[in-house]
């Protein structure tokens, strides 16, 4: 077979991009403080560089009272100047559809508020907790599942009582895993973040720390050697990043991810399945290949939560299953994430998989492989009539759904 070229497989630097004529020194560009200070947050800021559609203009004007708009210059440079269908645009530029009401949508789709024993701590699973340490992010994803508390303009304020949370963790010896998120924990200063990590690390039963962050993608300048050295003092510490489209993996992002990996931090990726962004098997294959090159293991692919104003970004569950089928067997197993639905209302993450087990009884299991061929596996002590010891071990049968076996 001829080698196929996957979309946007290369790593590029897009700097200085739209900031070309603005006399920005490399020192400024490479400073996360400068990047944060120069985020694009207004309609005028967008229109200085981009031609917006009516849906986008109206969206920017109307939706900003629910979830602020902010885009770092680094990430802004990935946006196509004129195409409203650009996969990067759809993630960070509001559209009028955000104000639409859908009866299935919720402000807290994963039911987090009802699982908070103390403010800021979500304890849903038996042995691990989610600790929301800030309400700020480097840029705001339009489909944010936590838009009710994130960015400072929404309906709720994020209350985090650090002392109460630390006490809860100390008392609850069943908790062995703490996941820092927010907002984005990497927006805290090194000192503030270290004070939290140090305090949690001092609790003997906490075995495992992780940080969920999109800062390596939105603001790779924040991944400084100093930050990495600090984090490495608190091992085992893992990190889950959030990349949805292969173009987000720029040269600068790759360098930041490699720096984290070089400091012994295992990296996973959590993608959200988004219409017009990554609901395409070839785009997802390109993404997982690039992640592996950055030493990031694709971890989860999320069905988009039923967050208010996300109908234009959601797609069908079967699309997610189709993407997994397109990856499993066809490419590196490390590159295949687990597709999950975070159960609406607060049931936690539920895996959703293609059906590879076609039929099963107490003597045998009939499975289907990635190429659509059928194989029979006998249970211990059972002799299956059609079982053959040839390496191919294939059944030459066509199975139709509902057929008697
Ligand atoms: C996702 C999540 C976790 C972590 O789940 P893992 O499957 O272990 O990655 C923990 N707590 C909450 C509330 C979560 O939503």
Per-residue pLDDT tens over the stretch 239-259? 999 999 999 999 999 999 999
If you average pLDDT over residues 284-290, what whole number do you get? 98
Contact 129, 123 (CB under 8 A): yes
Q: Is the CB of 210 under 6 A from ligand 1?
A: no
CA of 130 to the centre of ligand 1 (A): 7
Quick one: which atom of ligand 1 is closest to the CA of 124? 13
Confidence (pLDDT) at 386: 54
Q: Identify which of 235, 290, 288 has the alpha carbon closest to the alpha carbon of residue 260.
A: 235
Confidence (pLDDT) at 7: 86
Contact 310, 347 (CB under 8 A): no
Q: Is the CB of 125 under 6 A from ligand 1?
A: yes
Q: List all residues 6 or more positions away from 401 whose beta carbon is below 8 Å from its beta carbon.
A: none
Quick one: which atom of ligand 1 is closest to the CA of 110? 15
CA of 349 to the centre of ligand 1 (A): 7
Tokens found for residue 288: 């997982």
* Residue 86 is labelled as binding a ligand: no
Q: What is the DSSP letter of 351?
A: E
* Residue 141 is labelled as binding a ligand: yes
Quick one: which atom of ligand 1 is closest to the CA of 342? 15
Q: Is the CB of 124 under 6 A from ligand 1?
A: yes
Q: Is the CB of 128 under 6 A from ligand 1?
A: yes
Confidence (pLDDT) at 3: 62
Q: Identify which of 143, 138, 145, 104 has the alpha carbon closest to the alpha carbon of residue 122.
A: 145
Collapsed DSSP state (helix, strand, coil) of residue 352? coil
Give the architecture-level CATH label for domain 113-351. Answer: Alpha-Beta Barrel (3.20)
If you average pLDDT over residues 202-225, what whole number do you get? 98
**Segment 217-241, tens digit of pLDDT:** 999 999 999 999 999 999 999 999 9
Q: Identify which of 340, 378, 376 has the alpha carbon closest to the alpha carbon of residue 358.
A: 376
If you average pLDDT over residues 121-149, what whole number do you get? 98
Quick one: which atom of ligand 1 is closest to the CA of 112? 13
Note if the bond before 236 is cis, omega within 30 degrees: yes
Q: What is the DSSP letter of 388?
A: -
Give the DSSP H/E element, type plus range, for residue 197. Answer: helix 190-201
* Residue 144 is labelled as binding a ligand: yes
* pLDDT for 395 beyond 50: no
The 10 Å CB-count burial string (b at 16+, else e) for 287-297 is bbbbbbebebb
Q: What are phi and psi of 168, to 5 degrees?
A: -60, -45
Best probe residue, ligand 1, of 108, 124, 211 (max atoms within 8 Å of C-beta): 124
Contact 367, 374 (CB under 8 A): yes
Q: List all residues 6 or more positions away from 355 whose beta carbon is below 8 Å from its beta carbon.
A: 368
86 in catalytic set: no
184 in catalytic set: no
Q: Identify which of 197, 182, 177, 168 has the alpha carbon closest to the alpha carbon of residue 132.
A: 182
pTM (whole model) above 0.85 = yes
Q: Is the CB of 121 under 6 A from ligand 1?
A: no
Name which of 126-130, 151-155, 169-173, 181-185 the model is least confident about: 151-155
234 in catalytic set: no
Q: What is the DSSP letter of 337?
A: P
* pLDDT for 370 beyond 90: yes
Cα→Cα distances 69→42, 89, 188, Å: 7, 12, 19
CA nearest ligand 1 atom 8, residue: 128
Distance CA 317, CA 310 (A): 15
210 in catalytic set: no
CA of 271 to the centre of ligand 1 (A): 14
Distance CA 155, CA 364 (A): 55
Contact 378, 387 (CB under 8 A): yes
302 in catalytic set: no
* pLDDT for 399 beyond 70: no
Collapsed DSSP state (helix, strand, coil) of residue 164? helix
Q: Is the CB of 132 under 6 A from ligand 1?
A: no
Q: Which residue has the tokens 């049931």?
A: 347
Confidence (pLDDT) at 5: 78
Count of all residues that appear for the chain in the document: 405
* pLDDT for 114 beyond 70: yes
Distance CA 348, CA 111 (A): 9
CA of 341 to the centre of ligand 1 (A): 12
Question: Could you tell me the residue ranges of all domains in the chain?
Answer: 17-99, 113-351, 357-399
């Amino acid at each position: 077979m001829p080698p196929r070229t996957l979309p946007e497989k290369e790593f590029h630097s897009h700097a200085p991009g739209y900031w070309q004529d603005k006399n920005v020194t490399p020192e400024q560009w490479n400073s996360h403080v400068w990047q944060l200070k120069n985020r694009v947050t207004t309609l005028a800021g967008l229109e200085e560089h981009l031609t917006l559609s009516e849906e986008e203009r109206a969206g920017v004007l109307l939706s900003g009272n629910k979830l602020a708009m902010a885009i770092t210059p680094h990430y802004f440079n990935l946006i196509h100047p004129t195409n409203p269908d650009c996969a990067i645009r759809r993630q960070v530029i509001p559209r009028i559809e955000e104000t639409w009401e859908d009866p299935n949508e919720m402000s807290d789709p994963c039911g987090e508020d009802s699982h908070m024993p103390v403010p800021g701590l979500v304890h849903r699973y038996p042995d691990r907790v989610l600790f929301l340490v800030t309400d700020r992010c480097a840029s705001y994803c339009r489909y944010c599942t936590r838009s009710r508390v994130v960015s400072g303009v929404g309906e709720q304020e994020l209350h985090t009582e650090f002392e109460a949370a630390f006490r809860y963790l100390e008392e609850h010896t069943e908790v062995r895993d703490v996941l820092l998120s927010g907002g984005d924990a990497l927006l805290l200063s090194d000192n503030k973040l270290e004070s939290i990590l140090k305090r949690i690390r001092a609790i003997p039963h906490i075995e495992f720390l992780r940080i969920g962050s999109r800062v390596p993608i939105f603001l790779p300048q924040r991944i400084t050697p100093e930050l990495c050295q600090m984090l490495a003092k608190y091992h085992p510490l893992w990190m889950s990043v959030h990349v949805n489209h292969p173009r987000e993996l720029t040269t600068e992002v790759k360098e930041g991810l490699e720096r984290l990996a070089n400091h012994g931090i295992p990296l996973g990726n959590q993608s959200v399945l988004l219409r017009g962004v990554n609901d395409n098997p070839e785009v997802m294959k390109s993404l997982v290949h690039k992640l592996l090159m950055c030493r990031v293991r694709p971890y989860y692919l999320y069905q988009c939560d039923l967050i208010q104003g996300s109908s234009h970004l959601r797609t069908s569950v079967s699309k997610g299953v189709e993407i997994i089928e397109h990856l499993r067997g066809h490419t590196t197993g490390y590159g295949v994430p687990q597709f999950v639905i975070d159960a609406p209302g607060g049931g936690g993450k539920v895996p959703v998989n293609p059906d590879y087990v076609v039929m099963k009884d107490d003597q045998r299991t009939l499975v289907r492989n990635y190429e659509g061929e059928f194989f029979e596996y006998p249970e211990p002590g059972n002799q299956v009539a059609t079982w053959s010891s040839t390496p191919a071990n294939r059944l030459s049968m066509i199975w139709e759904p509902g057929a008697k076996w």
